[in-house]
Amino acid sequence: MTPERHAHIKELFLAACRMPPKQRPDWLDGRCGDDADLRAEIERLLDQHTAELTIDPPDSQTPESGDSRQPAGSSTSNSALDSIRYHSGDVVANRYRIVSRLGAGGMGVVYRADDLVLGQTVALKFLAPEYAKNPMWLSRFRQEVRLARQITHPCICRVFDIGDVEDTCFISMEYVDGEDLSSLLTRIGRLPSNKAVDIARQICAGLAAAHACGVLHRDLKPPNIMLDGRGRIRITDFGIAALAGHIDRRDIRSGTPQYMAPEQLSGRDVTERSDIYSLGLVLYEVFTGKAAFGANRFRLHETDEDAIPASPSSIVSDVDPDIDRLIVACLQTDPDARPASALEVAAQLPGADLLAAALEAGQTPSPDLIAAAGATQHLNPAVSWGCAAAFAALLAGVCILGTRTYFAEIVGHVKPPAVLADIARKTIEKLGYKDEPADYTYQYTNDLRLSHIGSTHDSPDSARALAAPKGINIAFWYRQGTSPLVPKSASNLVFGNARVTQRDPPPDSAGMISVVLDPDGRLLSFDAFPQGDRASDTTLPALVQNAGVDVSRMTAGPPHVFPPTFADQRQAWSGDLDDRTDLPTRVEAAACQGRLVHLSVTTDANAAELPRNFQAQFRQRVIASAQYGTLLVLVPIGAFLARRHSRTGRGDRDGATKLAIFIVLIRMAAWLLGGRHVPDLLAELELTGFVLIGAVAESALVWVFYMALEPYVRRFWPQSLIAWSRLLTGGTRDPLVGRSILIGGLIGAFWALLFEIDYLAPSWFGLSSRESIRGPDVLAHLLGARGAVVAFFDAVRGAVYQGLLILLLVALLRAAIRRPLVATVVAVALLAPMFVPSGSHPGISGATIGIGCVGTAVWALTRFGLVAVIVSGVVVRLLVFFPFTIDFRVWYADLSIFALLFCVAVVGWGLANSLRGGPTPLHSRLD
C-alpha cells in the first residue's frame, strides 16, 4: 500500500465515522466508485468500530469540557445537550444549587454548583438523556464513579457520588478552580521548562496512583488534565477507565484515537504501558506546545509511516536531552521498549526524587525502585577520610580501655585452653583412668555457681579488680569418653549447632569423665562413670590427694552431696584449702571400687554470693523469656501477614529468599567449623541433618517475618532500605553501600568505647558493678582461630536480627506517630530497657548504653539506613566480646589481632567504595 492510498483510506474512514450509519452506504458509493478494494478496506475499519468505540475528533473538542466523547456513529448531539439546561440559582436533587455552566462535551454537560448540605463547591457532570437510556453508557457512567473512588491522591480529581434527576444521571465531583491543560497550552503555547517538569511529575504521580489500584485510564489527554490556581493538576474523566486484565477485547479500542497507543488502536491489547504512551503524547505537548502528530491527524495502526513522531528537540531546540530521550522512549511502538511504569518516567525527570514520587502516588515502592533511589547520597571525599580518621581514634581508645576491662586480664593469668586440657588429662591419669579416650572436648565457661573461682588478691592490680563486673567467674571444663561424644538434646541439635556442652550428651555413660578447672589449672570438680573391675584399694583421702586437692589441714565431716553415680565411699572436709581464698572451703568426694567418681571444691562464698548470682541469672532468664515469648506471639501474626503479602505480590520474595539462604549458609558454615564432628559416618550425617533442619527452620522464620514486615518499612520509610536493597542485588561495591559500611564501622567503634566506659565508670565513682550476664558470650571467643571465625558468624547473624528488629520498631512508630522526632524518642525509650540490663550499673548503663548506644542506633538508622546499623552491630560485637590486649606475648593476642584487622578491613572496604566514582546515574539503574 502506497502512502498516498493509505492517507486516502484514512481520510474516507474518518469522514464516514462522523456520519450517521444510515448515510454511510450512499456516501461510500459516491466516494469509492468502482474501487471495490477501497470500499472493502473502509468497511472493514468501520466494522471494527462498535458502539463502544469513542471518537473524539479535534474539531469537536470543547476546551472547557471535562468530557468530550460521543458514541461512534452519532452526530454531535447538540439537541441532547441543550435539553440539559440549568440556570444560576436552580436547585438540583434538593441539594445542589447551580452556580454556572463550565462546559459541554460529547456525552454531557458540566456545571459548577454549591452543595447545600456540606457547604462546599462541587462540579456536577450530567449525562445526556439519550445516553442515560443506553444501558452501556449508563454502566460506563457508574463505572467512572466506582473506579475513580478507588483512587485517593492529590493529583486525581475526587469523585463523590452519583445521582438521578428527571431523565438523566449526574456525578458530583471535586471542583477545580482553573482550566484544563489543553486550554492552557492553546492560550500560552509550551510551558516554561521548570513548570513543565513540575506538571509532568504531578501527572506521573497521579497516573502511578491509578495504576497502583489496578486502574487503567485509557483516555489520558490534555483536556482531561485540570490545573487549579496553585498549579496543581487533577487527572479527570475515568469514564472509560477499566481494571487491568478485565477489559473485553471488543472494548480495547475505546478512547480518543489521537492519544491511543498503537496496540490499543489496532485492537490488540491495552496495558499500563498503553497509558505510558498516552502520557508521552501529553508530555510532548507540554514541552513543545504542539501535538505530536499534528492538529488534525489520526494514526490508524503501528505500521503508519508517522507512527513515531519527530523528537521534541527537533521542534524546540532547548528541550533537555534527558527529557527528549524520555518522551521518545514513551512513544515507542513496541510496548516493551517503553518505561515500565509512570514512576519510572518520573524517576528520569530532572531533579527526580524517586521515593518521594512513589510516596506521593500513595504507592509502596518496589525493592528495585528503592535500589534505584538515592543515587546522589554519597559522602564527600573529605568527609570519608574524616570518618576513617575518627574510627582510628575510637579504635585506639577501645584498645587502651579494653586491656583494663577485659576480665581475663583482670582476674589474673588465664592459661591457654590446650594447656588446661593437658592438665585435665594428666589429672584423670593420676586418678587411675588409663583408657585412651576415643573423643574429648573442652570450653571455657562462666558458671555463676562457682563464685569462689579466682580471688581478688591474685590480681596484680586492685583497681582493675574493682572494675571487674561481678558474677564473671572463669572456669574451664573438659570432657572425654571411650566412645564419640555425640549431642543428644533436641534443642542443642536444632538450635545450638550440635555442639558438645557440659550436660550434652548427658554424663551418664560408662567411660565418660568431666573435669572443671580454675584459670590456673587447679581442680574444682571431677565426675566419672568408671568401667571395668576394681582399680585399687586406695583410700578416698589418698585419691583426693592424687587429684591435687590437699585436705591434710582440713577437718573431716559427714558428706552432704550425692554423687551422680553409685559410690561405695563418701567423705567431706572443711577448713582452709591452700591459698585459693581466705574463706572456709568445703571438699566433697566419693569413690567406687577404688576410683574417684566425684569431687567438688566450694567455699562459703557461695552462700554470700547466691542472692547476687540469682539476680544475674534471673535477669538473663527474664530477657530470654521475653524474647521467646515475643517470638511465640509474633509467629502466627507474621505468618498471616506473610501469606497475605505473598498472595498480593507486595512482599519482597526475592529479598526474603536471599536473606533466608544467607542464614542457612552462615549457620552451616558455623557448624562445619565449630560443630561437633564424629568419625562415624551415620552419626555425622544424622548430626548434619539436625543442624540443617535447624538452619532451615531459622531461615524460614526469617523469611516469614521479612515478608510480613518489610513491605510496611518500604511503605512508610523506604529511605532506610536504599543501601540494603542495593546490597541484596549484589551491589557490594556501590558507593552508597560503601558509605553505609564506613559509617557503620565508625558507629560500632563508638559503641565499643561506650561499653568499655560502662565497665570502668562504676569504679570511677566508687560504685559497685552488678553481675555480668555476658560471660558465655565473651568466653566462647577464647578457643583459637576456628572458634573466632564461628563467633564472627554468630556476630553477623545477631547483628542482622538486631538491625531488622530496630528497623521494624522505628518504622511502625514512624507510621503511627507522624512527627519523626517524637517517634525517634519513643523508639529509644522502648529499645533501651532491652539492652541496659546487660550493663554494669543501672544509672551509668542508662546513659552509656541506653542513650549513647541505642540513641545513636536509632539515629544511624534514620540517617544512614539498615546496612549501617548491621555493620555497627558486627563491629561492636567483635570489639567487645573478643579478648583485647596490647601485649602480643599473651596467648590470645592473635584473637585480638583478628578482631582488630577485621574491623579495619570493613572500614577500609567502606572507605574505598565510598570514594568510587561518585553517584550512580539513576537512569542506568532503572535500565
H-helix or E-strand spanning residue 214: none
399, amino acid identity = C
Hey, which residues does 268 pair with through a beta bridge?
none
The three-class DSSP label of residue 859 is helix
- Burial (CB < 10 A; 0-12, 13-18, 19+), residue 389, is exposed
* Nearest by Cα to 437 from 479, 482, 478: 482
Q: Left (φ > 0), alpha (ψ -120 to 50) or beta: where does 182 sit?
A: alpha
- Cα separation, 849 vs 239, in Å, equals 60
The band of 304, judged by pLDDT with boundaries at 50, 70 and 90, is: very low
Grid coordinates of 36: 471495490
User: Quick one: pLDDT at residue 670?
Assistant: 85
**Structure confidence at residue 908 (pLDDT):** 93
How is residue 504 written as a grid cell?
A: 550434652
Give the residue among 367, 365, 331 at the shortest CA–CA distance from 212. 365
Q: How far is it, in rounded angstroms, from Cα 137 to Cα 288?
A: 35
94 grid coordinates: 434538593
Distance CA 80, CA 90 (A): 19
Measure the CA–CA gap between 103 and 231, rounded to whole angstroms.
Answer: 21
DSSP-assigned beta bridge partners for residue 165: 168
Q: Which contacts (CB < 8 Å, 24+ apart) does range 265-269 have? A: 265/299, 265/300, 265/301, 265/302, 266/300, 266/301, 266/302, 267/48, 269/335
Contact 402, 756 (CB under 8 A): yes
CB 333 within 8 A of CB 322: no
- Check residue 2 and give its pLDDT: 64
Work out the pLDDT band at 776, boundaries 50, 70, 90: low
Residue 543 has pLDDT above 60, yes or no: yes
Residue 549 sits at φ, ψ, to 5 deg, of -110, 110
As a whole number of angstroms, the distance between CA 753 and CA 398 comes to 5
Query: What pLDDT was estimated at residue 352?
Result: 64
How far apart CA 465 and CA 405 sit, in angstroms, is 9
Cα distance between residue 505 and residue 484, in whole Å: 10
pLDDT score recorded for residue 731: 78
pLDDT in tens, 126-164: 887 767 677 777 777 777 777 777 787 888 888 888 888
- Region 694-703 average pLDDT: 90
- Would you say 487 and 676 are in contact if contact means Cβ atoms under 8 Å apart? yes
Task: Name 585's bridge partners.
Answer: 575, 603
The three cell numbers of residue 303 are 505500521
Mark whether 219 is an active-site residue: yes
* CB distance 728 to 870 below 8 Å: no
Which residue in the list 56, 67, 180, 219 is annotated as catalytic? 219
Reduced 3-state DSSP string for 344-355: HHHHCCCCCCHH
**CA atoms of 154 and 205, how far apart (whole Å):** 9
566: CB partners within 8 A, 6+ apart: 592, 597
Q: Each residue of 309-324: pLDDT tens digit?
A: 888 888 888 888 889 9
Place of cell 583412668: 433
Dist. CA 767–CA 862, nearest whole Å = 35
Phi, psi (deg, nearest 5) at residue 461? -135, 105
The helix or strand, by DSSP H or E, that contains position 874, with its residue range, turns out to be helix 866-881
Task: Return the C-alpha cell found at 619.
Answer: 535477669
Question: Angle between the 893-914 and 381-405 helix axes, to the nearest 10 degrees?
Answer: 170
Whether residue 110 contacts residue 104, with contact meaning beta carbons closer than 8 Å, is answered with yes
At residue 637, φ and ψ (nearest 5 deg) are -65, -45
- What's the pLDDT at 777? 62
- Secondary element (H or E) of residue 441: strand 439-446
Residue 358 has pLDDT above 80, yes or no: no
Average pLDDT taken over every residue of the chain: 78
| Cβ proximity of 243 and 215 under 8 Å | yes
Distance CA 406, CA 884 (A): 7
Q: How far apart are CA 215 and CA 886, in angstroms?
A: 66
Q: Does the structure show a pLDDT above 50 at 451?
A: no
Q: Going by DSSP bridges, is the β-strand pair 120-127/168-174 parallel, antiparallel, or unpaired?
A: antiparallel
Three cell numbers written together for 320: 533537555
Rounded Cα gap, residues 468 and 457, in angstroms = 13
- Give residue 156's region: left, alpha or beta (phi > 0; psi -120 to 50): beta
The answer to whether 808 and 827 have CB atoms below 8 angstroms apart is no
Could you give the CA distance from residue 357 to residue 347 in angstroms, rounded to a whole number?
Answer: 8
Across residues 482-488, what is the average pLDDT? 86
579 burial class (0-12, 13-18, 19+ CB within 10 angstroms)?
Answer: exposed
Q: What is the chain's length?
A: 927
**Widest Cα–Cα separation across the chain:** 134
According to the model, what pLDDT value does residue 241 have? Answer: 76
**Whole-angstrom distance, CA of residue 359 vs CA of residue 481:** 64
C-alpha cell at 283: 508530555
| CB of 431 closer than 8 Å to CB of 596 | yes
Residue carrying C-alpha cell 544512614: 864
Tens digits of residue pLDDT in 226-252: 998 888 899 988 777 777 777 777 677
Percent of the chain with pLDDT over 70: 80
Residue 546 CB contacts under 8 Å (≥ 6 apart), including other chains: 430, 431, 538, 596
C-alpha cell at 357: 514520587
DSSP 571-635: EEEEE--TTS-SS-EEEEEEEETTEEEEEEEEETHHHHHHHHHHHHHHHHHHHHHHHHHHHHHHH
Of 2-11, 46-55, 443-452, 610-619, the one with minimum mean pLDDT is 46-55
**Cross-strand partners of 571:** 589
- Of the pLDDT bands very low, low, confident and very high (cuts 50, 70, 90), residue 392 is very high
Q: Which residue has the cell 445537550?
A: 81
How far apart CA 543 and CA 595 sit, in angstroms, is 7
Separation of alpha carbons 247 and 815, rounded Å: 36
Contact residues for 155 (Cβ-Cβ < 8 A; gap 6+): 202, 203, 205, 206, 209, 232, 233, 234, 235
d(CA 151, CA 130): 29
Please report, rounded to a whole number, the percentage of residues in the chain having pLDDT higher than 90.
13
Residue with cell 549431642: 487
Q: Which pLDDT does position 661 carry in this prediction?
A: 94
pTM of the model: 0.68
Instruction: List the beta bridge partners of residue 178.
Output: 228
373: amino acid identity, one letter: A
Three cell numbers at 190?
509550551
Least confident of 74-83, 99-108, 587-596: 74-83
Confidence class of residue 717 from pLDDT cuts 50, 70 and 90? confident
Question: Does residue 279 have a pLDDT over 90?
Answer: yes
